[in-house]
Structure 1
């Protein structure tokens, strides 16, 4: 394969992240905003009896659901794309005899599991009007801690699998490493405190739909990134065609 600088792959990763951000924005706008609006309506109805005076929001709800959502999602996608590209640079050729496309898909899948899925299963997202404002710092800290633990445990499982591979074979080593990761995550789930601040009268269906939509947004983002970056990385790393030999004119 051609030698290529990490900077080039970083740029391609950010471009793929931008594409993934667009895909995630479409899912968030088409599926998620209706759930947010419903939760806001419940919150406003619950506080209707309290006379707090009319407060003007600094940013309109329409702008939040369009420009604000698009800006946040695109920046998030570009940032994650850059980080994933750097992980790809390290992983290529070190996790098996996989080509650029397969490595990109494996990296994006691993990051989705460790950065999004595992923390989400412990601390799932909640719509507006759910959660005590006084515990927001605690909840944010626990969520970040779960992400850090998940990434560390995933990295440890990867190292374990590589070290066991020469003795047990790639397949058996991968199974053992995967089981070790699941057990370690289960211990982390049991150790970290639970957070359940959902009001008893809040519609369970709305919470379920909001959480599924949140998970769908992340799934679409990482799947789009893996496919797009795999294509760009393969084009960058593909061997250059050998120059054709000059044909000597016959006399």
Structure 2
């Protein structure tokens, strides 16, 4: 059986699908992703005695893994529903989710390394890793944060495009139900990101950003569900 055409998938799906000799089921791929990151977090926490930071890292890895599940199911579900070509092209082919992820990641790095140290007596990185964060810890942290930003960017883009889909197209009852289920899954993933909020209570900018994203995706996807009615 042939897989989906590249350009009709998320960038994440294209990369995983292009790996030679590797054909993992969804559960296997997500489990591997979680285990690899979590082993790195636990190992570095042990080496540098950073167990408090490890808890935050585990939450971030768990959200990223949940995002991988959501992305795969949103992608597979959209293709199975035989989505209109303009919708598929906008959702997948534009790769806008990568652009949003890059923008979010740059903003996050700027906040962590420039804004927060200038504005806070105890910056977030210092509170987690100490005044001189180990290089390997920072490297893994940025890798996890990029993974997280990519999933969050994808969730936001899926919500925006689903709103346009609901306004632009009419579907039969079964197809409309399928799209509403996908929108509900995106909302579920967004709400799941609330596990990050307890770690950001002393970081008003990040708290507002993550909380605002959760609310925005919920509202936009909810509106898409309302608009996606059978013809």
| TM-score w.r.t. length of structure 1 | 0.28
| TM-score w.r.t. length of structure 2 | 0.30
Give 1 or 2 for the bigger CA radius of gyration: 1
Higher relative contact order (CA 8 A, sep 6+): 1
Q: Which has the higher helix share?
A: 2
